[in-house]
Amino acid sequence: MFKSLVPRDEVFFDLFNEITAGIREGVHALVKMLESHENLGEQAQNIKTIEHHTDQIVHNLMAHLHRTFVTPIDREDIHQLAGRLDDILDMAEAAASRFDLYCPDCVCNEALDLANVLLESVNLVREMVSMLRNLKTPARILELTVEINRLEDQADYIRRSTVARLFREEKNPFELVKWKDILEYLERATDCCEDAANITEGIVLENT
């Protein structure tokens, strides 16, 4: 009852939306990087800058959380969701930095497919998180969870099948190692999307 008498703090929802906007910007830049396969250092630095800016927003959210006595949703849920969202862009930035560092001879087409799956997943996470402000449409949020989980399965399949193909076909062991590492970070980013979706689903189930 006491919580219902306290003014609703909308700042958390604004910051979550800023975080997911940064994630989408960074992952979109990663897709463009894989598509162009040029100016890798410049593009990797751009993604790093986006990641750093988004980290600062996460820091601002955490600072606000520590200053806030009553939160619109459970404070532990806010903390966990912010952390998992941050992890998405961390993994995407790690993939971009390795693409720049390793400078593979050519782009593995499946890596671009995987990056596009990640972008699709990020777009759904962004939509899902934006709906936390108003939990009047829980069915849509639960639908998004199912779709994000499906995309994670798809990403995992792409990574495993691509690594298997590279072991069969790639003659240069250094190229194989490069792509195996990049693919793993891309797939980990989709894992983090699934984690963020599951946390958001839990928030919905707790509050509806």
- List the domain boundaries for the chain: 7-207
What average pLDDT score do residues 6-20 get? 83
The percent of residues above 70 in pLDDT, for the chain, comes to 96
Gyration radius from the chain CA atoms: 18
User: Which stretches of the chain are DSSP H helices?
Assistant: 2-5, 11-36, 40-67, 75-102, 109-130, 138-169, 173-207
At residue 7, does pLDDT exceed 50?
A: no
Average pLDDT over residues 47-63: 97
Question: Collapsing DSSP states into helix, strand and coil, what is residue 103?
Answer: coil
**Angle of helix 11-36 relative to helix 109-130, nearest 10 degrees?**
170
Give the model's pLDDT for residue 9. 63
What DSSP state is assigned to residue 132?
G
Amino acid identity for residue 139 in this structure: A
Q: Enter the pTM of the model.
A: 0.93
With 0-12 / 13-18 / 19 or more C-beta atoms within 10 angstroms meaning exposed / middle / buried, residue 2 is exposed
What is the average pLDDT across 38-59? 97
For residue 131, what is the DSSP state? G
Cβ contact 60:11 at 8 Å? no
Q: Is the model's pLDDT at 116 over the cut of 80?
A: yes
Q: What's the chain's average pLDDT?
A: 92
pLDDT tens across 69-94, in order? Answer: 888 889 999 999 999 999 999 999 99
CATH class of 7-207: mainly alpha
